[in-house]
Structure 1
Amino acid sequence: MSATPNYELAGELKIGQVGIANLRIQTLDIARLQAEMDDRVKRAPNLFGHAAIVLDFGALSEVPTVAQAQQLIDALRAAGTLPVAVAYGSSATEQLARALNLPILAKFRESFDPSRAGGAATAASAPVPAAAPAAAAAPAPAAPSNDQPGQIHATPIRSGQQIYAAGKDLTVLTSVGAGAEVISDGSIHIYGPLRGRAIAGAQGNENARIFCREFDAELVSIAGNYKVLEEVPQDMRGRPVQIWLQDGQLKFAVIE
């Protein structure tokens, strides 16, 4: 008499939203790329340390050789990050990914491509502008990103949690804890402390904004332009703040 077959899966595979950074290579200067990434990791170790990185060679005139790409991967690993995939670009890019034994992320660059966001850079590759002083008077709040109703989250978002509002604004009625992440294709409104990461305009909406009652964010980003806490003016911390994008730089103002 044969044993009853066990149809229970040993591992359940699900496809979902994941936190991953896209490094768009502007010039194949490996020493410079390593130094830049090393600086990012040192300034924001909780964000970039051991972070998954997608390599995007779309800005280069030609795809690197396997040896060059492997040298870059080794350099980025030495800087403290983990290159895990290659962004889709061409058949040559696909061949390179296969030679490196890395997967291709076919639609990653489409969502964050600067050409779709009026020149906005991706979060991992964007140059970090110097901290700007608070604006004397903040512009009027931006209109909603689209006609869809916003998404409301009523409970605290704790470390390790990620909330994503696709195609709409996100409103958090409580707090976003350290190590937590909120993402929205529109604006983000937080009626409590922001201690984790807030990423607005995730699909390139430069009119998106971030509002919070108490600012202590690990990182804030709008349309791929970001700042970590150490780069934000000291007088913004612990206060109600509005954040918007102007001329490619994040602007901060206390909400009176």
Structure 2
Amino acid sequence: MTSASIGALEPVAEIKFGQVGLANLKLKRLDPEGLAAELREKVASAEKLFLRTPVVLDLSHLSALPDVETVRDLFERIRASGMLPVGLSYGTSENEALSQALGVPVFAKFRAAYERDSEAAPVSRETPRPPSRAPAAAPTPVERATPPPPSASAPTSGLLHDQPVRSGQQVYARGRDLILNALVGNGAEVIADGSIHVYGALRGRALAGAQGDERARIYCQEFHAELVSIAGHYRVFEDIPADLRGKPVQVWLDGDKLLLKKM
């Protein structure tokens, strides 16, 4: 089997996302037709998550940077799938020139699992906002196993939030854990650079390890999550085994595998 045929067996692109639902589309090889087909499939399979999702195109893993017209064509294919391309990822001089030619920004500090912002100050915010949608890599079977003990270096102080998080709201604990004493509703989003503890029902989206901390975890008393993510790796509700739904669950990351287990 040639290297070209081996490459054709792999996904064209891998999607990860930052702490505000902005999708990072990492192109693994230049295959516009294959990319368009993959994105159409993602949107068709979960329209509520993927339709009109803002996308940052990451070209850093290609062997050579494409020319302006090629990238313009990629943008059109992304847009035709139902997603919305909003810029390029990473701030190299070549990317900067490309972004200027395309009239789009460069997101040099995109917060994904493979890029950490070590200078982030431990502050927090709570901001109502329209619900965001966060796409990700092609789904793989969810695995359940015995979790390792939490890391001693994980954040020890947390942001305490006592009120329900309603649809369209976001609560973000920057540089720390997030502790929620009420439910997280459908269409709501809770985010933490550390772990997330939900002492109630989790029905919206929970994104832990938002700056790439793979040791972060998610704990909840009643699991109905639309999406759970740790350091950019995520699963949607449809991918979760039925015996975990409505149960106390913890979520953690083992390499590239997002694992879930009843508590």
TM-score by length of 2: 0.81
1:124 positional shift: 4.6
1:44 positional shift: 2.6
Q: Which residue of 2 aligns with 1:245?
A: 253
- Deviation digits for residues 187-242 of structure 1, max 9, x if unmatched? 00001111111000111111110001111111111111111111111111111101
Question: Does structure 2 conserve the Cα–Cα contact (< 8 Å) formed by 1:142 and 1:209?
Answer: no
- Identity rate of aligned residues, in percent? 49
2: CA distance, partners of 1:113 / 1:188: 17
Local SS of the residue matching 1:86: strand
Structure number with higher strand proportion:
2
Shift in alpha-carbon separation, 1:143–1:36, aligned structure 2, 3 A = farther
Unaligned runs of 5+ in 2: 1-18, 118-133
User: What does 1:154-165 align with in structure 2 at a 5 Å threshold?
Assistant: 154-165=162-173
Moved over 6 A (4+): none
1: CA distance, partners of 2:136 / 2:203: 23
When Rg is computed on C-alpha atoms for both structures, the one with the higher figure is 1
CA RMSD of aligned residues (A): 2.0
Question: Does structure 2 conserve the Cα–Cα contact (< 8 Å) formed by 1:176 and 1:196?
Answer: yes
Shift in alpha-carbon separation, 1:105–1:251, aligned structure 2, 3 A = same
Q: AA paired with 1:128?
A: P
User: What does 1:169-208 align with in structure 2 at a 5 Å threshold?
Assistant: 169-208=177-216
1:18 positional shift: 4.0
Local SS of the residue matching 2:199: strand
Q: Which residue of 2 aligns with 1:38?
A: 40
Q: Which residue of 1 aligns with 2:154?
A: 145
2: CA distance, partners of 1:106 / 1:210: 28
Structure 2 counterpart of 1:69, from 60, 71, 85: 71
Question: Does structure 1 conserve the Cα–Cα contact (< 8 Å) formed by 2:217 and 2:251?
Answer: yes
Q: Which residue of 1 aligns with 2:122?
A: none
Q: AA paired with 1:104?
A: V
Q: AA paired with 1:161?
A: Q
Q: Which residue of 1 aligns with 2:5?
A: none
Q: Which residue of 2 aligns with 1:120?
A: none
Structure 2 counterpart of 1:128, from 124, 139, 163: 139
1:25 positional shift: 1.3
1:138 positional shift: 3.6
Corresponding pairs, count: 229
Q: Which residue of 2 aligns with 1:114?
A: 114
Q: AA paired with 2:149?
A: A
1: CA distance, partners of 2:255 / 2:239: 18
1:57 positional shift: 1.0
Structure 1 counterpart of 2:226, from 218, 222, 238: 218
- Deviation digits for residues 93-143 of structure 1, max 9, x if unmatched? 1111111111122321xx3252659xxxxx7553432232x33x4433444
Question: Does structure 1 conserve the Cα–Cα contact (< 8 Å) formed by 2:115 and 2:211?
Answer: no
Question: Does structure 2 conserve the Cα–Cα contact (< 8 Å) formed by 1:21 and 1:54?
Answer: yes
Shift in alpha-carbon separation, 1:144–1:45, aligned structure 2, 3 A = farther
Question: Does structure 2 conserve the Cα–Cα contact (< 8 Å) formed by 1:187 and 1:201?
Answer: yes
2: CA distance, partners of 1:193 / 1:164: 18
1:144 positional shift: 6.0
Q: Which residue of 2 aligns with 1:254?
A: 262
Shift in alpha-carbon separation, 1:18–1:225, aligned structure 2, 3 A = closer
